Each structure stands twice: as C-alpha cells, then as structure tokens.
Chains A and B, each alone.
Chain A
Amino acid sequence: MSDMNKKTVDPGKDNRKIKSVSRMKEIMTHYYIDAKTARESGKKVAWITSGGPVEPLIAMDVIPVYPENHGAMVGASKMGVDLCQKAEEMGYSSDLCSYARADIACAATQGGPIGGLPEPDFLVCCNNICGTVLKWYEVAARYYKVPLFILDTPFIHREMRKEAQQYVMSQIEEYIAFLEAQCGRKMDYDRMTDVGRLAVEGLRLWQAVLDTAAHKPSPITAFDLFFHLGLIVTLRGTQVTVDYYQGLLDEMNERIANNIAMVPGEKYRLLWDNLPVWYKTRWLSDKFASHKACLVADTYTSAWSGVLPLIDEDRFLETMSLSYSQVYINISHDMMIDKLSEMIRKYDADGLVMHSNRSCKPYSLGQYDLQKMVMEQLGIPTLIIEADMVDERHFAESQIETRIDAFMETLKS
C-alpha cells in the first residue's frame, strides 16, 4: 500500500548509477590486499582511529588500517549482531560501542567480512572522536603486544587557546619521534610536505563533491557519500585519493550538466546527522526516496573536510594541531549549531533527520538540545530516530518507518 511497495518501471535507473563506484571498490580491494600482505612486502601496519592524523604514516610509508572503517564494513555486510554477541560472550558490555565490539570479536575469531584485520605493528589513537577509543586501543595493544601512541586533543568550547595548540603541537612532535622509532628511520620532511599538499588537495576535492549536492536536483545523496567517503578517511594524503575524487567530481558535474537527479522527482531536501545505520542504508534510502526526499548532506561525511579552513598547506604539521582538535564531534553545541545552520543554508534543507546512535555517545549526546535549537533558530522540522550504526538489535523497523512517514507527512502538509 505504501509508495515503496509499488512496482514501477524506472527507465532512469541506469543513468543514476554512479560509475566511480567500481573504481572505489578496486582501490579499496587493493588497499586491503596491500595491508594483509604487508609482512611479505616488508611494510609496517599501523591501526589508527578514524579522526587520527594519518598523513605522517603515509609519509613514513606505513600502511594505515582503520578498525572503524572495518566496523562500517561489518555493519554494511550485516554481520554486526553475531560479532557483537561474540564480544558480549567475551565479557564486553552490550553498551560498548558496536564498532569496538565487532572489531574485538573479529580480532579474536578472525571473523567478519575480510577474515579479520591485518595485525598491527603499532597503534595510533587520537581521542578527538571519542573516549572509547582509548580503552579499545589499550585492549588491542595488550592483545597484540604492540606499542600504542595516544594523541590527546582537548575539547573545544569556543576557540582553541594558544596553550592548547602548543599542547597538541608538542604531541605531534612526539608522534613523529614515535614513528621514527617504530620504523627505524628519520622522517623525510620534504615527503611530509608533499603528503600534506596531497591531503589538502584530496580534502578540497571531497568538499567539492559534497558541494555538488547544493544543486537542485542533487546529483548525489548522503547515502552515496557514506560509501564514497572511504578514501578520504583511509588514504588521505595519497595521489590515488586525489585522482579518485577528481574523477567523482567530474562525474557529478556531468550529472548536473545533464540534470540527473539521484532521487527522481526530488521535492524535499533533508540533512542527516550522525553516523549511517550501515545495515539499513538501502532501506532508508528507498524509504526517503519514496517520499521524493533526498538526503543532500550530512554532518558525518563533511567532518573531514570541515576543518579545511584551519589548515595551512605550507605549514601542514603545525596547523594539524588546530585541524585535528576541531573536528565536528570535538566541539561545543554552540559551534555545532553554527555548522548546522551553515549547512542548512548552503544545501537549502527543508528538514533535519538525526540518528540517535546508541553506540556513538559523543555524537548523540545533546541531540535533543540541538533539535530544539534548530527548530527555534532556523524554523525547520527535525526528526530523531533511535538506532545503532552496526548492532541491528537496536533498529525497530516498523517504529522507525512510522516516524519517517509521519515526519514526511508534516513536511508535506
């Protein structure tokens, strides 16, 4: 009876397929093969948190591996529940982040979509995204008996004081010394400068891809961005990433020129907040599309390039202390609402959909306050859906369906 269940002939479907997807899959496959065969090729592997400074690793020829990216793969391949349960059997609380639970279980059982991650030579943990990573990485350090480097970024309320900048800067120096000790060679600062430039170039191109969604109708949705985000997280600072996003940007511009809408008949433009619900992206995407609603942007995929104004590519290492401390979830609600308002204006959003993510406490804390601020200051309706990024046991489909349908009915009325 709902629009979703009606079978309709859709001649534009092939046109809407993003061609870059296959290239992305190819790059990611190569990347994981390289990481899994690092021992044979004499390379080091470092596990690093999603918001961590990867550029020095790239400059030192270390292969970065992201347990969180892996967690997203677990979620997308719907293996989350089994792995989370396994971790709970091991004694971890069901309230622990589902990325952490899934990853710990994969490490212990060589399970998951790629049979576990390649073992790390050392670990790099930056707490700009949450406090859970500290304990999670300590567990990994004990399990693999490898050294752990912790980069502590202070929470930013309004502005980053000089003392705080110096505090982070001194840790970045320690970080480089740590890498030199682990790799048994000195940092090549010319190489580091090149990597910094490539990182900035990649971030600019990624932001340009995100900006194409400001066009009406949008050539891309947040559900697509969740997938294409992969490289800006994992391989920032490499030529392959720059080339990939240049290709994706060209494709998006071509779609704009040909007026190809990702959501046929786009009528409503929505913003998404928080991580994706990885195991339900297709369902949610179809659900919103059935209401002719396009999720044009989100606070998550824009978090990496959101710090671009803080980076000086000629002083990349120095400005890293600013950019890594001020990522979207390490800032106050006052700063978040500024960013949200900017996005709502830029993408001309009609509504905001917030995923209250049981796993990600720092991202979800205060969403009700943000919701109130958005409704009062910007006058746009918001919807909160309660779920989890990986653990499907926290997703109640019919309840969420009713909420989305009701939200869309209020938007339409």
Chain B
Amino acid sequence: MNTKITAGIDIGSITAKAVVMEGDKILGARVQFTGYTAKKAGRDVFDGMLGEIGMPPDRVECIVSTGYGRNSIDFADKAVTEITCHGAGAWFVNPEVRFVVDVGGQDSKVIRLDDSGKVVDFAMNDKCAAGTGRFLEVMARALEVDLDDFGELSLAGIPAKISSICTVFAESEVISLIARGETRENIIAGIHESAASRISAMARRVGLVLPVMMTGGVAKNKGMLAALEKKLDAPIQVSEYAQVNGALGAAILAARM
C-alpha cells in the first residue's frame, strides 16, 4: 500500500486551499483567503493545515502547487495547472466521472476526461468574469444578500431576464430590475441562469459527456447547481471535496511523482 505523504496547494484568486494525503487517505484540508500575496498564502495555508493535524512539515515527501499562484510557491516540487489537477481530483472522488465543471473565483472551466481519467479537452472563460464566483459575489452585494443565502433564494424564484454578459453591465441591469419592482428571488434566479448559460455554452463547445461532476467553491451554491443542471439537461454530482478539489488533485499528482 502507498503510504507516501504528499500535499497539494491550490492558490486561487480568492481563496488558498491545501490538502495533505497519505496514499489514498486524506489526512487534512484547509481553506483560507488568498489575500495580497500568493506566496504568503501558500505558506500559511500549508503550515496551518499541518498545524491542525499536528504533522511536522518535513514529513511531507512531495508537494504540487496549482492555481493562479502556482508559480509563486517556491517550496513546491512541481507546479501543475488547475485543469490537470481538477481532472485528477474529480477522478479520485469518482472514477466514473467523464466531465468536470469547475467554477472558481475568477474563472470557470470545463474538462472532458477519458476512461483513464486523462484530460482530453478543456475550455476556460476568457478575459471576462461572467459565469464565475466573482460574478455571483458582485450580484449578491448589489442585492444586499449574504452569499451563503444566495443560492437558496434563487430556488424560490422564476428567473428574470439578465441579458448582459458583462458583470459590470449586468449589475446595472439588476439595479434597474430592482427599480421596476422585480422580486429579489426572481432577480437572483435570473443571475444564476445567466451564469449557468455561460458555463453550459463552454461545456457544449468541449462536448458534454456524462456523468458530470461540479467542483470549486461555487458548487456549494444550490441555486447555481440547479440552474446548471437545467441548462445542461443532466444531473450533476457534487464532490464532497468540491472547494479543495484542485488541491486534492495536486496531492494525488504528487503521489504519482
């Protein structure tokens, strides 16, 4: 049995995540805000996680970094992109999975896997944060709703039409919907539908294959999940490690090194 101790560190635009594993067993995981420097966030989330489980850093044999800040983690043995890591993480949770939808802070990506878990094709949002966690955050703020309640409220509404694909313009659209007396629930449902449309267009471009798994912090949002299931016309599994899936994949790849 593989007892190699490995870690994965995923530095995203909003949060930093770390996972430590012994072979196939997850020993610990941690999420914190990335803050100003990716480098410091990487060190802190790694040390914090090891502190929680009382493991000295020198026991970790191999570290893989991923995410936007992957190249700033100088104590990692290798940097791997979040595409490969999310594929590996989802595959670990359920090897039946052929398609991964990851919605993170400032990007959303879709990844198609083959029978052996290898990435066949992928797409990411380009130069625009519509259809990402940040888009939902901006909208929640405009509507003065706590982000944690945002998804739940969306399930109670009939989607109002949000036509702009730009986050900034969509915010003004939301403000005018409020002025017109549209209910908060309907507006929120519309926002989720708009974000889901962007992601499903990417998924169809790459070629949707079932089963689908959703990863990333936004997978916790039930409204987003429902909107995506509707747009993709397919059930979506949510990994219990959704938010740390990239770091999990990185730790798995570290075990293979």
Residues of A with Cβ closer than 8 Å to B?
Answer: 1-2, 5, 368, 375, 381, 386, 394, 396, 398-399, 402-403, 405-406, 409-410, 413
B73 within 8 A of A: yes
B185 within 8 A of A: no
Question: For the complex, what is the distance from the CA of A386 to the CA of B121, rounded to whole Å?
Answer: 16
List B contacts of A413 (CB < 8 A). 84, 118-119
Chain B, Cβ-Cβ closest to A5: B71
Question: For the complex, what is the distance from the CA of A184 to the CA of B121, rounded to whole Å?
Answer: 60
List A contacts of B49 (CB < 8 A). none
Residue in A386, A399, A402, A409 whose beta carbon sits within 8 Å of that of B119 in the complex? A409
* A409-B205 contact given A1-B72, A1-B73, A398-B68, CB 8 Å threshold: no
Residue in A5, A386, A394, A405 whose beta carbon sits within 8 Å of that of B81 in the complex? A405
Chain B, Cβ-Cβ closest to A398: B68
Interface members, chain B 64-113 (any A CB < 8 Å): 65, 68, 70-74, 76, 78-84, 107
Question: For the complex, what is the distance from the CA of A409 to the CA of B64, rounded to whole Å?
Answer: 14
What size tier do the contact residues of chain B reach? Answer: 20 to 34
A406 touches B121 (CB 8 A): no
List A contacts of B79 (CB < 8 A). 1-2
* A396-B81 contact given A1-B71, A5-B71, A406-B119, CB 8 Å threshold: no
Question: For the complex, what is the distance from the CA of A406 to the CA of B84, rounded to whole Å?
Answer: 7
A409 touches B84 (CB 8 A): yes
List B contacts of A406 (CB < 8 A). 81-84, 119, 122
Interface members, chain B 120-164 (any A CB < 8 Å): 120-122, 124, 126-127
Top 7 closest A-B pairs, CB basis?
Answer: A406-B83, A406-B81, A1-B71, A409-B84, A405-B81, A410-B119, A1-B79
Residue in B68, B71, B78, B118 whose beta carbon sits within 8 Å of that of A410 in the complex? B118
Q: How far is the CB of A2 from chain B (nearest CB, A)?
A: 5
Starting from the known contacts A1-B71, A381-B121, A409-B80, 20 additional A-B residue pairs (CB-CB under 8 Å) come to A368-B205, A375-B121, A381-B120, A386-B126, A386-B127, A394-B127, A396-B126, A396-B127, A399-B126, A399-B127, A402-B81, A402-B83, A402-B124, A406-B83, A410-B83, A410-B84, A410-B118, A410-B122, A413-B84, A413-B118
List A contacts of B124 (CB < 8 A). 399, 402-403
Chain B, Cβ-Cβ closest to A4: B71
A1 touches B70 (CB 8 A): yes
Chain A, Cβ-Cβ closest to B253: A409
List A contacts of B71 (CB < 8 A). 1-2, 5
List A contacts of B119 (CB < 8 A). 406, 409-410, 413
List A contacts of B205 (CB < 8 A). 368
Chain A, Cβ-Cβ closest to B106: A399
List B contacts of A1 (CB < 8 A). 65, 70-74, 76, 78-79
Most buried by B among A368, A381, A398, A405: A405
List A contacts of B81 (CB < 8 A). 402, 405-406, 409
Chain A, Cβ-Cβ closest to B111: A406
List A contacts of B107 (CB < 8 A). 399
Instruction: List 24 contacting pairs A-B, 8 Å CB cutoff, sorted by A.
Output: A1-B70, A1-B76, A1-B78, A1-B79, A2-B71, A381-B120, A381-B121, A394-B127, A396-B126, A396-B127, A399-B124, A399-B126, A402-B68, A402-B82, A403-B124, A405-B81, A406-B82, A406-B83, A406-B84, A406-B122, A409-B80, A410-B118, A413-B84, A413-B119
Q: How far is the CB of A406 from chain B (nearest CB, A)?
A: 4
Q: How far is the CB of B90 from chain A (nearest CB, A)?
A: 15
